[in-house]
Chains A and B, each alone.
Chain A
Amino acid sequence: DGGITQSPKYLFRKEGQNVTLSCEQNLNHDAMYWYRQDPGQGLRLIYYSQIVNDFQKGDIAEGYSVSREKKESFPLTVTSAQKNPTAFYLCASSLQGPNTEAFFGQGTRLTVV
């Protein structure tokens, strides 16, 4: 089945550690996105990528890094520089071009312990 898969569903990180969240899609979508969602709030854009080997910072990119080496994969690394990383992280993808909806993964809940 076509879709977008995030893993793991739950992740615990010790302070000072880097962790990487996985996002894979088999929808042949060009554009991919990472959002952060804090309790009771909307989605804030971390990074997005329109095409392989290219990505742009969103509104809250500090403390995060991404790569886009393959069309189907857009991993997000939460670095130790991110001061408050505990949140729900959502990955999405969409077709390139106008007026296309984004499809979301089921999310990863990251907790710093």
Chain B
Amino acid sequence: EDKVVQSPLSLVVHEGDTVTLNCSYEVTNFRSLLWYKQEKKAPTFLFMLTSSGIEKKSGRLSSILDKKELSSILNITATQTGDSAIYLCAVEEYGNKLVFGAGTILRVKS
């Protein structure tokens, strides 16, 4: 069975801290890995990773894929209260199947 596992399940940090969220996967036909942020209702897209070792960056967020280790990390530096959300990792397989992990609940305290 295809699996996407995220860790930690939840995390509480203070503003200004740096956090690293993990995602590992076991899927049959990997195509890409995606990160989403969910604050209230609809998840919003953050990154898509297809190639190993190439960092994607957007402001204080960055992410990298390690295909050998079947994993990805999402880093958030200088965290702010607005970063509080559920961070979802998803793996796209050939045939357009998109499988999500359980998510990491991040809470940033001021």
Contacts and interface: CB of A to CB of B under 8 A. Distances in A.
A98 B98 contact: no
B92 A99 contact: yes
Interface residues of A, number: 29
A11 interface: no
Contacts of A2: none
Contacts, number: 68
A91 B6 CA distance: 22
A107 B42 contact: yes
Which label, helix, strand, loop or mixed, suits the secondary structure of the B interface?
Answer: strand
Interface residues of B, number: 28
Given A50-B95, A104-B42, A98 B32 contact: yes
B96 A96 contact: yes
Contacts of B100: 35, 42-45
Interface of B: 1, 6, 10, 31-32, 34, 41-45, 48, 50, 86, 88, 90, 92, 94-103, 105
